Amino acid sequence: MDGPVIIVGGGISGLTLALSLHEVGVPCRIFESAPAFRRLGVGINLQPYGVRELTKLGLQPALLSHSVVPRSMDYYNRFGQLVFSEPRGRFAGYEWPQLSLHRGDLHQVLVDAVIERLGPDVVTLDHRCDRVEQDDAGVTAHFTSATTGQALPAVRGSAAIGCDGFHSTIRRQFYPNEGPPSYQGINMWRGVTRWKPILGGATAAQAGWLEVGKILIYPISPELDGDGLQLINWVAEIQSSRNVMLDWNLQGDLADFLPTFADWHFPWLDVAAMIRAHHVLLECPMVDRDPLRQWSFGRATLVGDAAHPMYPRGGNGAGQSILDARALARCLKSAPDAAAALKAYEAERLPAANGVVLRVRNAPPDLMLKMVHERSGDRPFKNIDDLISQQERVTIIEDYKRIAGYDKMSGANARLS
């Protein structure tokens, strides 16, 4: 191929793609709109299938140094009663662990690896991509400075890859009339709190349901501080008409959601107190986009959130982005030209990723909490099996894993070439 692959966006998908292209001997350059990489966001879960791919890139030791390895995901009603406990990662028999860590730590591990292996000049900051043009010989990416708005020199390459996230410029170039994201009337408040370890310090938990409030809680620091506290990530969700601007770093306000959780005092956690003790609080709507019929257009394509933005449930957003990057690198290595490689990548990944988008939207893994809420009439239960059988609970989880691609047969234990 003539010229490097141009990667637009230096997030998780763009950095993973750069490492994967380097692994197969395909040159690339990353152009990131931010003037500097900053530690942003809150917690993130990497499912075993994502950890498998990052392990192949030699990153597992660095990731483990920043991660909690959760033993289980426990599901509760809003009264703190256990509905189901699902083993996770190696504790569920997978070859690779699940990892829970701060998004900033994951990003930094990827940045450090890219700079070490490809060199510091491979990443160019403060370059916002405005459009991509292409001809039979390659692509031309046009940039402006995100800080000054001034035009910057155009860059030629063999292909352009949109790793530029939910608000992708390249996606908008392909689909200028797509319209706004799909908002289903659910808002999220994402927080980080230093708190005493809960449920043994290596367990994730979900409680409640949207009609009365729902919360996801999991630890993201492997070590305790001097006061015996652990970094805890939490996500509070409620049905809401507040379709705020989608900005992963929009500051949240306790007054907008804390009353919903004011009386949530479980035997194992005072939820309201943990929320009030936050030191990070962000708000964003629960949104995704309808699946696209096509990602690749000649020498340009989409990866990760630019291709298939999905609800942040089940820990699949980052994982699917990683699978995209790995598949695209394989295709660029083996196909006769860039356009053929991008079509082969699309044929492999588009159906699978679109299936996950719809599954997360319509039948997420916490569906059983909705069923318990409805069948109990939002009251404490005496015996969970009277509301929903063990087999029904297991079936919900296993069906979700199969669609998301990390059941034991087709997902995390599958050995991809």
The pLDDT of residue 254 is above 80: yes
Q: Is 63 helix (H, G, I), strand (E, B) or coil?
A: helix
Least confident of 80-84, 192-196, 334-338, 372-376: 334-338
Nearest-angstrom CA–CA distance, 69 and 72: 9
Least confident of 7-21, 127-141, 247-261, 295-309: 247-261
Backbone phi and psi for residue 261, each to the nearest 5 degrees, phi listed first: -110, 10
DSSP β-ladder status, 72-76 and 203-209: parallel
Q: Are 180 and 288 in contact (CB under 8 A)?
A: no
Planar angle of CA 88, 94, 98, nearest 5 degrees: 45
The pLDDT of residue 181 is above 90: no
Compare 346 and 401 and report the one with higher pLDDT: 346
Amino acid, res. 197: P
Least confident of 77-86, 353-362, 369-378: 353-362
User: Mean of the pLDDT values across residues 156-165?
Assistant: 97
Nearest-angstrom CA–CA distance, 211 and 213: 6
Rounded (10°) angle between helices 317-334 and 338-362: 160
pLDDT band of residue 413 (cuts 50, 70, 90) is: very low
Nearest-angstrom CA–CA distance, 46 and 316: 8
pLDDT band of residue 328 (cuts 50, 70, 90) is: very high
Q: Which sign does the torsion angle of CA 272, 276, 280, 285 carry?
A: positive
Compare 116 and 183 and report the one with higher pLDDT: 116
pLDDT at 1 (0 to 100): 55
Q: Are 371 and 388 in contact (CB under 8 A)?
A: yes
Q: Is 161 left (phi over 0), alpha (psi -120 to 50) or beta?
A: beta
Query: Closest Cα to residue 298, out of 79, 136, 62, 175?
Result: 136
pLDDT in tens, 360-401: 887 777 889 999 999 999 999 999 999 999 999 999 888 877
The pair of structure tokens assigned to 360 is 């997360």
The pair of structure tokens assigned to 392 is 């029904």
Q: CA-CA distances (angstroms) from residue 220 to 46, 66, 119? A: 11, 8, 30
Query: Closest Cα to residue 13, out of 100, 110, 116?
Result: 110
pLDDT in tens, 89-129: 999 999 999 999 999 999 999 999 999 999 999 999 999 99
DSSP state at residue 22: H
pLDDT in tens, 28-68: 999 999 999 988 778 999 999 999 999 999 999 999 999 99
pLDDT band of residue 416 (cuts 50, 70, 90) is: very low
The pLDDT of residue 308 is above 80: yes
Q: Are 414 and 95 in contact (CB under 8 A)?
A: no
Q: Are 15 and 111 in contact (CB under 8 A)?
A: yes
Amino acid, res. 348: E
Nearest-angstrom CA–CA distance, 58 and 66: 15
pLDDT at 406 (0 to 100): 62
Write the CATH number of the domain with boundaries 5-45+104-180+293-362: 3.50.50.60
